[in-house]
Structure 1
Amino acid sequence: MDGGLRGWRRCLLSGAVFAVCMAGTTLPTPLYGLYQQKFDFSDLTITVVYAVYAVGVIGVLLLAGNASDAVGRRPVLAWGLGFATASALCFLFATALGWLYAGRLLSGLSAGLFTGAATAYVMETAPRGGAARATFVATAANMGGLGCGPLLAGVLAQYADWPLYLPFAVHLALVACSAAVLLWLPETVRERRPLSTVRPQRPGLPPRVRAVFGPAAAASFVGFALFGVFTSVSPSFLAQSLGVHNRAVSGLVVALAFFASTAGQLAVGRVGVGRSLPLGCAALLAGLVLLAGALWWDLLPLVVLSAVVGGGGQGLAFRGAVSAIVEVTGADRRAAVISALFVVAYVGISVPVIGVGLLAGPIGLEGAGLVFIACMALLVSTAGVYLLRRPVPAAGTGGVR
């Protein structure tokens, strides 16, 4: 009993470290409007600053995504916390636009290191037989942390002094606490190898995986693109079109999307992999329609509904996508195929967002949003129809990296 309690304590503490790191990646979301006023840049620049994050994540996933398997979980997580610290310092002392670019890139490096290593660490610190609960802890820490970032920053920026400084000072304190916890937690990789043995992961698709990968990747692309829009330009839309200047409300709207994604991922266990992907596509489509209505009629309740419905759809679709791919991929190619899925997902969180920024100048933020919605709706509808005609194998729900 004591060993089990000790194991769950370690599992929860490692999950808390995971959540702190991921919260830092979304912390600037409700603050972009303030930075826009301070440094006088356009909506396009906001989207580019946001998208730089994906460059860091993709780079780490491809070059060192499997590093923790070799050198151990704790050293990789320590590096991740180091990059998170450097990112917060960039925002804390930002005196020009270049500091924001640097901060977002460092944040992406931090998230890229944590994505796989922290998920594995949470699972490995749990007691024997606790895989299902550990999956819940890892999922909640990942998406819940992403949701807490904008909520924390929004509340502090709205109701406390120094809105561009206090959120990052608080996050630095949390990172310091996380580092202390990480020093106390044990290493779970027993046979460690030198860093020189780590090789870049080359995404690859065995022929038998391609039929499942296409629609799974399309649904993941749309889900992450929807998150990208919510976390980059939704605060600007709320302020410019709806007159919502309360940064706590802006942070809450973004947070709801991530919290709903957590619920969607957890629902896969009951829904089943075979149904979670098409249902996720349907929910994503519904979320896009609600967002289109919010843009067309300038209604805040529809923005909130689109965050909840679209976020839930993203969670269903993404965990279903990962699980379906794991089921049809051999162990020798699994890491490469999952890396390919994450690359597609993080391209989705960056490229469409930059497209919205490019269109916002000539046709306005609302018009750019409607063009984005039309393109994403076509893509997710095609994936959904394909999945209805050729369902993925109904197997175990797997886990989320």
Structure 2
Amino acid sequence: MFAVGYGANQFVPLLVAYRSTLGLSDAEATAVFGVYALGLIPGLVAGGRASDVHGRRRLMIAFAALSLVATAVLITGQWGVAGLYAGRFLTGVVSGTVFSIGTAWIKELSTDAPAAAGARRAALALTAGFGVGPLVAGVLAQWGPAPLLVPYLVHLVLAAVALVLLLRAPETRPARPRGTGRARLVPASATTARFRGVVVPMAPWVFGSVTLVFTTLPAHAVGPGGGLGLVLPGLLAALALVAGAAVQPWGRRLHAGLNGSGGAGAGAVGLALVTAGCLVAAFATARPGPPAAAAAAILLGLGYGVCMIVGLTEVEELAAPEELGSVVAVYYSLAYAGLAGPYLLALAAPVLGYPAALVCLAAVAALTLVAVLLNGRRRPATGPQDPGAPR
């Protein structure tokens, strides 16, 4: 999961180079970044359901191998935008499948650990990969040779090592015998009132928030790069994701302490941080400079981290064992739907300006916070739920 998370975000600092070498507009650059979601969501849904039926191990091995192909296709993007679209799409398919299967697999491998350990381990593995990838790629692209080739070679090595290690990992969900039924398209656990009222509205802000650090802040909030043009996006991304990783243990404790609200209280804290991050990002785009951009990145990263761990903990508590992979897939699909936010922001900004557009985004985040609190108050959690129970 670390290696695939690394591969998903190694593209972040390189997008600055592609903007200039391929002449991409804001909307085109955001579209190249966001086409990842077109591959990711079907990968999530199909991967999670398939692993519940056919087992985790064989599918993880196959898609870890495909991650090597995805990065090889991205390398061709230096010669034309078609390679970027194809490579990002394939990266999305790989990421969706690996994230859904891997999160369920880690939870099942953590049965002897304390409660919510699986969610914490999965979130930290992903966040670490998301953060290290753009940092290393940015440094290599800025000061290394062949800036649109060498950064990708690191991921090829990481993915190959991960593939070898996977061959020794134990299976936790053997394939079901034929004729035992197929996984539901929408798992029962994802139709509970608690999931609909708390997880569904909060989830898009997981990646909808931190993606602003990858797309909007580098292009419009840092000002003169001071010779660090390709490094700054990686530094901002790493700063946000270090903050996101650091806050996750606290977010897990907050969720446990506010369990009576069904995750709504802890989710509201995450959304409050996202709202504050959007407001600081609005200030940073009005008065560009590294300090303001860094402050926005930290706040957005903190919001991402809290929302991520709260959502995964809710999924871990709500999902029935036989549909864990499917419920994780639904959660990640909702989370990645948030990638539409930065794209819509890029479309609205020429009319409103980035500061005003980000203030509007902050208002939407604040309204989501209110909705989550109201839903949590109306539908208090009663502990893990039976998917077949009345809802």
TM-score range, shorter chain: 0.7 to 0.9
1:29 maps to 12
Which SS does the other structure have where 1:164 is aligned?
coil
Q: Does 1:281 align with 2:271?
A: yes
Change (3 A) 1:81 1:381: same
Change (3 A) 1:343 1:21: closer
Q: Does 1:148 align with 2:132?
A: yes
Instruction: Spell out the pairing of 1:210-289 with structure 2 (5 A cutoff).
Output: 210=193, 213-238=196-221, 241-243=223-225, 246=228, 247-273=230-256, 274=258, 275-289=265-279
Which SS does the other structure have where 1:192 is aligned?
coil
Percent of residue pairs identical: 27
Q: What TM-score do you get using the length of structure 1 for normalisation?
A: 0.82
Q: 1:169, CA displacement in angstroms? A: 1.1
2:67 maps to 84
Q: 1:205, CA displacement in angstroms? A: 6.6
In structure 2, the gaps of 5 or more residues are 259-264, 385-391
1:157 maps to 141
Q: 1:55, CA displacement in angstroms? A: 1.4
Q: Does 1:102 align with 2:86?
A: yes
Q: 1:89, CA displacement in angstroms? A: 0.7
Q: What TM-score do you get using the length of structure 2 for normalisation?
A: 0.84
Instruction: Give the 4+ runs in structure 1 shifted more than 6 A.
Output: 194-198, 205-208
**Would the aligned equivalents of 1:63 and 1:200 in 2 still touch at CA under 8 Å?**
no
**Which sits farther off after the overlay, 64-73 or 188-197?**
188-197
In structure 1, the gaps of 5 or more residues are 1-17, 397-401
**Would the aligned equivalents of 2:52 and 2:325 in 1 still touch at CA under 8 Å?**
no
Q: Structure 2 counterpart of 1:52, which letter?
A: V
Q: Structure 2 counterpart of 1:101, which letter?
A: Y
Change (3 A) 1:59 1:208: closer
Instruction: Spell out the pairing of 1:24-173 with structure 2 (5 A cutoff).
Output: 24-94=7-77, 95-125=79-109, 128-129=112-113, 135-173=119-157
Q: Does 1:393 align with 2:381?
A: yes
**Would the aligned equivalents of 1:324 and 1:393 in 2 still touch at CA under 8 Å?**
no
1:11 maps to none
Q: Structure 2 counterpart of 1:96, which letter?
A: G
Alignment coverage as a number of residue pairs: 375
2:387 maps to none
**Would the aligned equivalents of 1:219 and 1:380 in 2 still touch at CA under 8 Å?**
yes
How many Å separate the matches in 2 of 1:194 and 1:89?
A: 37
2:371 maps to 383
How many Å separate the matches in 1 of 2:291 and 2:179?
A: 53
**Would the aligned equivalents of 1:220 and 1:345 in 2 still touch at CA under 8 Å?**
yes
How many Å separate the matches in 1 of 2:253 and 2:344?
A: 37
How many Å separate the matches in 2 of 1:127 and 1:331?
A: 12
Instruction: Spell out the pairing of 1:194-205 with structure 2 (5 A cutoff).
Output: 201-203=184-186
**Would the aligned equivalents of 1:62 and 1:200 in 2 still touch at CA under 8 Å?**
no
Deviations 1:275-310 (A, max 9, x none): 422222222222222222222232422322222222
